[in-house]
Structure 1
Amino acid sequence: MQFKTLSLKTRLLILTVLLATLPLLLDMLLELFNFKREIESNHIREATAVARFLEKRLDSSFSEILEKHNASTLPKDQQVKVLNLELQPVIDDVTSSFDAIGAGYYCRELDSIIAYGPNPDSAKLTALPGEHPSRDLYITGKPVLYKNSGINFFRGTPLLAYNLPIYRNGELIGHTWGSIPLDDLSAAFWRDASVKFLVISGFLVLSLFLVKRVNNDISSSLNYFTEKVLYPEPGPLPANSVFCELMPVYTAVQRAQKTILDHNRLLETLLDSTNAGILCTDENGNIILFNRAMERIFSLNLKDFDNRPFETFIQKTDIPCNAWPIYQSLRTRKNISSMLIPLRVEKDVKWVSSNAVIITDSEDNFRGVLGTFHDITDVVELENQALDIERFKIVGELAASISHEVRNPLTTVKGFLQLFLNRNTLSREDKELYQLMVDEIDRANNIIRDFLSVSRQQNRMNETFMINTIIGELLLLFKSKALLHDVQIETDLTQTPPVRGDRDQLKQVFLNLFNNSVEAMPGGGTIIVRTAYDPSGKYVLIKIKDTGPGIPAEILDRLGKPFVTTKKTGTGLGLSLCYRIINHHFGKISVTTSPEWGTEFVITLPAINAEAPESCCLA
């Protein structure tokens, strides 16, 4: 029976039997190393016994020997010679009694070998090298066992040495050693190993030959199988035994391929037929899927961003990172509800509603984000038109009583009143009455200005500036008014990134809030102005806090709507304008209030990280 005619299972079984020889080889290697370890253990015991014997033969300390010979004041080399004459006979007795045993004494005070054997040489009675392993015992105070690692095991014979510290009167004065070459260990090891390796080699050669035969046969069949799966062509299939056994798998793969292709075609049809833009990223934020509607909405060729980070797509749109639900979902790994994105296409603004849903696998592991985009420009324009109609309706009703002719007489009256105020003939009471009339005329003009601001369209949204700068400019002008009303201003302006928008509009927001704070504290108080940066959300925070009586709960929920105010003579249009301006800057206003400590307005604006594009990278 030829080996090729055997079934795949039979051949794999034979291969398994052959591979079973590998554990046998490992077992033999383990036995060889155990044999080596046993011989090495015997040598360690012999070296240890020699070192301990020498330590006991040293009846006194090295200094006592020198004193006995009146050599304590001699030079170091002379002292070494005196000690050598005393102790070398002991070493010679030991080395002559044991074959291949080395031994010696080392004096710590002289930092020198004072006796050693076999084959002593007075020229070698010197200090040990600084990196010599035996020096470790002077640090630890314990015996040191080492092999001379400077000799490669496979090219020579290492030396095994046991170094024993010598203590006299509690002091470490030196050490003695016993050493033995491991040449007999190496010889015995390689002799036993060579026989066993010859036996194993025969099995390995036979195994390799058969494995190669089986591998060539299986590889050629699998290669043909793979080629037929990837590039199916009509025609007869080979009668190869391996391919015949793979035939059920081949049929199942072809069936699965057809199902996947049909599903992919259906998915492409569904994606391209919807008007909603669809974009999908993997867990690392790389774009892996998009449809034609996505390209149409953003007027971009998204093939240029295929398998590239989503941040590169963001940078092409010039929209802050935090305005993108996909970006937030990738950072938080949570679903993000619908958000409105103002998209600038040439000179027009296109409004896109977007949300993001995280994608997980069967084990709830995060695998990416699916974002949907709806062009709702028409809807937003209709809403703006409705708002314009409502706004102009309000303005039209107010214009019946506040017309252009009203402001001219007010200006004239104010001018004459200011002339009267400059007369020295007026009494103090008359001046106070004239000043009160001037203030009331200013208040009437401010009301007219607020009405006009509500109906005015603002378009300067492309300025880039630092929030701290405009707050500082306003506070310089506002401090005089605060002093007149006994109001202290405290600031804590930290370094923040720049923001983009209309500088004058934001000045108007802060000025309105400063004025509201002063008017909320008729008896004086404190205004605290803080700025901060939220790196997790890429936002600049502006906090304006007063120590007034707080805002009633029944008004708090409606705060920011026209004609909602806590002032007896106010219209509520100033705060309504503040909310409208911040919304146009993609920010928000939040309010916390308490009758114990006052009211705090927190304005949140998107930051522009101008240092580098990486500032938009996902965390």
Structure 2
Amino acid sequence: MLEKKKNLAWLIFIRLVVVSLFLASITYFNIRQPDFFPDVMLRDVTRLIIVTYLFSILSLTSLRFPLQIVSPLGYAQIIWESLFVSILVVITGGISSTYPFLFNLAIINASYLFGRREALYTAGICGIIYGSIIDLHYFGKLENIGLMRPLGNIYGPNFILSLIFTNLIAFFLTAILTGYLAERARKSETALKEKEIDYEELQRLNSIIVETLDSGLVTLNSHGKIRVFNRYISQLTGVPQKNAYDMEFAEIFPEFCLADISNHINNRIEISYTNSKGDKLSLSLKYAPLFNNDGERFGAVIDVIDMTERRDMEAKLMKSDRLAAIGELSARIAHEVRNPLASISGSVQLIAESAKIPLEDKKLIEIVIRETSRLDSLVTEFLNYARPRSPQRSWFSLNLLIDDLIALLKGDVRFFSIIISLDISEEIQLFADRDQLHQVLWNLILNAAESMPEGGEIFIGSWWGRASISENYGSMRTLNLTIKDTGFGIKCTDMSMIFEPFFTTKPGGSGLGLATVYRILEAHSGTISVDNEYRLGTSFTISIPVPLKV
């Protein structure tokens, strides 16, 4: 109905243009030849045109009303156009009028607005009206309006019949032809709309599928320019989708050569990638060329999967397996080493109690006792790392634990020049193993203090992170605790090894401090991360899930 309303508006507008041109033409000819149109005829035609203007304007105004008025208003246009041409034919001479062809415009408009059937009806009505005008003129029935019978008698009956017949045939041929073309156009338009709807639906469906994929999708044209860049790969790389369009693939993946992956068609290759945020990712890419119906290559599609979490999980599993093996080995070593150490220490202590031992030998014996004690402590520490006990969870105050650790640190003369800043604004209760958390925080605070032999500042702050669900404890929140120092920091080459057992940069260090911290947090389902700037300081952040209730 909206389409018909639009068509009707165009029809009325075109009629106004045609009538205006008609008025201009007769005015022009009358100026050039004052006797071209008699005054009475010119006056009547002008009045007819004015009435047509008024009717057209009224019709355009009526289009503002509800859509139900469109069809009746369309029929009114066809009726008026038929009347307009009929009156014009009567005014301009009846049989001798040159304007009967204008009936075809009414027929064309009927087919345009409604279809072939209405066009045939209009052709029949126009034929009846035109035939009646000619007959009435011929038999002198229109003398009182200026169409005299003598003018009609100039033409014989054969001419009158042929004139009516010829125009009638023209009307129906116009109706048939324009009706056929109008129906073809209407069917084509309907089919086109259906295809447009189908295309839009397919395009929308395709867009939804591409945007909801849980992997990155990139399509390239034949010149290697990006054409599709879905939301997943946009979030992965940090490049906005609108900016990625028409970029070179190498602009987003500078570490990567497209020619390399094109040699691995339908096979995945894995690359290391650093996105715009500085995150280091492990990406798996699969390249597949695109071909048209002629078999010509016109682009490529690349599937991208983020393997970072999977690789991290594999590394953790490998590390856990390695630690399990170390644990078994450490238990045997402890059994084989600690018993002889105890025997050696006991025997040497008995020897030292003898009065016959020279003073120099006693000093050597003291060294042996001290070193066996240190070795026993190292074995114990290694056992705690390799085979840690399960956490004995209970509720305790994190604030009180940190206060105890700060007091312990300030009691050491080495750290008198260190300032400790706290940003823990609320009372925090943890559900964890207090002794193990004590060990974790003490190792981190002690490392921070030892990295600033000439003094500095240690900052301890906390904030709550995201919520999660645990099978054992239900709803949980993550507590993040940061311990930051202003010391020398860690060398970039050492960053990947700081949680490895026996790795240390401190003279006399066992290399088990941070490794033990990592193991304890792992047993608490927690994590630890490092933010380091060499010679400017290091920040360790531990994250521990805390149940809302137990």
Compute the TM-score of the two structures, normalised by the length of structure 2.
0.39
Structure ranking higher on relative contact order (CA contacts 8 Å, 6+ apart): 1
Structure number with greater Rg is 2
Q: Which has the higher helix share?
A: 2
